[in-house]
């Protein structure tokens, strides 16, 4: 039997029913996120509470498995073992398998659905259900495959615990869910309605119940950059013609990537026009002399919008100015505006000017006098 998602019900509904009757469960999935584990939390904890068994092997390739997703799997109580699998050579661990053993049957779902919120209830996915009497060839092959994935001989799979999770985060194998979602949102803008060649069909989305213990913030927050950004573009507000004001979250994120100590403070950039080193410096209000309210840099005069690009090259920062009245500056400006159309937005609009724009008003007009920035 084929189980489509988009033209059918969310795949999480099928999995919830399977967990509801299973005694043993096996999962091999390329990617795990809390957005997916949270959707199945009640079903999985119910199965484990009845004395059921869960074995799961999760991949950590291509920056798609999150720290919070693995942490939720570790928080499950009962007969559960979690393994992470990664090959330091080129092959990507990419299966999506959910196997269930009931009193009478072995039931296996194989398809395209990862253990993520998008995979279980949002994307257009497809899985197939295989069913056979318990103890048959299907169950034997399922067990053999799961044993092979967990075989310690080749060093590709390691049983997950708190210490290993900390090492994975520290070494950059996994990142926070909010950063990963921010990166996905940065992959491309949504097309304006007039430019779309294809139709639109919204999926049936399931939400994580409020009682589920999701660790931390798994959705992007305004101003939180995606993982592994290399550049940030800032449409500057200019004071006294050439004094550019850089948003505090941008400067702090650059300082964080540079390994600077302390919340605020100056940092050095190399001006791409003059080839000289310059400082970007914070300004402090009198009432809070240790917490910056903005950062400043002397910019070039601009006929259009003044835009600053800060680019990380190793342990240095290159700074380059653009004028939207010029061809290259216009291209950068359009990149910023396009980022307001993606979901979630990849361009940050700190004042919410784009969301408040009047009916029929363009994004360009709505954000004419405000600062915008986009990590890339």
* SS3 per residue for 70-138: HHHHHHCCCEEEEEEECCCCCCCCCCEEEEEECCCEEEEEEECCCECHHHHHCCCEEEEEEEEECCCHH
Query: Which pLDDT belongs to residue 195?
Result: 81
The CB density around residue 287, as the number of other CB atoms within 10 Å, is 7
Place of tokens 């505090």: 248
- The tens digit of pLDDT for each residue in 276-293 reads 999 999 999 988 888 999
- The tens digit of pLDDT for each residue in 235-279 reads 998 777 678 899 999 999 999 889 898 889 999 999 998 999 999
User: Could you tell me which of 155, 104, 113 has the C-alpha nearest to residue 132?
Assistant: 104
Residues 6 or more apart from 70 whose CB is under 8 A from it?
Answer: 32, 58, 82, 84, 160, 165, 168, 174
DSSP 41-77: HHHHHHHHHTT-EEEEEEE-GGG-SBHHHHHHHHH--
2-175: which CATH topology? Answer: Endonuclease; Chain A (3.30.870)
Q: What is the dihedral of CA 221, 226, 232, 237, to 10 degrees?
A: -10
User: Could you tell me which of 153, 151, 175 has the C-alpha nearest to residue 165?
Assistant: 175
Q: What angle is formed at CA 325 by the lines to CA 281 and CA 247, rounded to 5 degrees?
A: 25
Query: Which pLDDT belongs to residue 184?
Result: 65
What is the Cα–Cα distance from 213 to 215, expressed in whole angstroms? 6
pTM over 0.75: no
Start-to-end C-alpha separation, the chain: 42
User: Could you tell me which of 29, 108, 43 has the C-alpha nearest to residue 76?
Assistant: 43
339 SS3 class: coil
Query: Which pLDDT belongs to residue 187?
Result: 57
- Segments making up each domain of the chain, as ranges: 2-175, 231-375
Whole-angstrom Cα Rg for the chain: 25
Query: Which pLDDT belongs to residue 181?
Result: 77
Ranges of the chain whose pLDDT falls below 70: 182-192, 221-224, 226-227, 241
What is the Cα–Cα distance from 259 to 234, expressed in whole angstroms? 21
**Class of residue 133 by CB neighbours under 10 A (exposed 0-12, middle 13-18, buried 19+):** exposed
């Amino acid at each position: 039997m084929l189980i489509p998602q988009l033209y059918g019900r969310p795949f999480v509904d099928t999995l919830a029913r399977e967990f509801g009757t299973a005694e043993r469960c096996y999962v091999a999935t390329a990617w795990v996120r809390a957005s997916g584990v949270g959707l199945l939390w009640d079903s999985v904890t119910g199965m484990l509470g009845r004395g059921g068994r869960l074995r799961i092997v999760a991949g950590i390739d291509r920056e798609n498995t999150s720290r919070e997703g693995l942490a939720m799997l570790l928080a499950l109580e009962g007969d559960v073992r979690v393994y992470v699998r990664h090959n330091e050579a080129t092959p990507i661990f990419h299966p999506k398998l959910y196997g269930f053993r009931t009193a009478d049957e072995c039931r296996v779902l194989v398809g395209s659905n990862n253990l993520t919120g998008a995979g279980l209830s949002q994307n257009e996915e497809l899985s197939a259900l295989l069913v056979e009497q318990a103890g048959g060839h299907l169950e034997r092959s399922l067990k053999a495959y799961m044993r092979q994935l967990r075989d310690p001989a080749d060093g590709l799979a390691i049983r997950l615990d708190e210490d290993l999770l900390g090492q994975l985060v520290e070494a950059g194998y996994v990142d926070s869910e909010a950063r990963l979602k921010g990166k996905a949102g940065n992959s491309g803008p949504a097309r304006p309605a007039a430019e779309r060649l294809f139709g639109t069909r919204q999926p049936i989305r399931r939400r994580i119940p409020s009682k589920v213990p999701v660790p931390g913030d798994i959705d992007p927050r305004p101003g939180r950059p995606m993982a592994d950004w290399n550049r940030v573009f800032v449409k500057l507000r200019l004071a006294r013609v050439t004094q550019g004001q850089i948003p505090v979250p941008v400067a702090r994120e650059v300082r964080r990537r540079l390994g600077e100590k302390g919340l605020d403070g100056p940092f050095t950039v190399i001006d791409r026009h003059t080839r000289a080193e310059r400082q970007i410096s914070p300004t402090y209000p009198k009432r809070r002399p240790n917490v910056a309210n903005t950062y400043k840099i002397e910019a070039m005069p601009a006929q259009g919008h003044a835009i600053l690009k800060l680019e990380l090259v190793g342990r240095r920062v290159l700074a380059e100015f653009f004028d939207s009245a010029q061809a290259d500056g216009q291209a950068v400006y359009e990149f910023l505006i396009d980022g307001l159309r993606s979901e979630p937005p990849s361009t940050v609009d700190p004042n919410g000017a784009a969301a408040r724009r009047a009916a029929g008003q363009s994004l360009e007009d709505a954000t004419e006098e405000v600062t915008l920035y986009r990590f890339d």
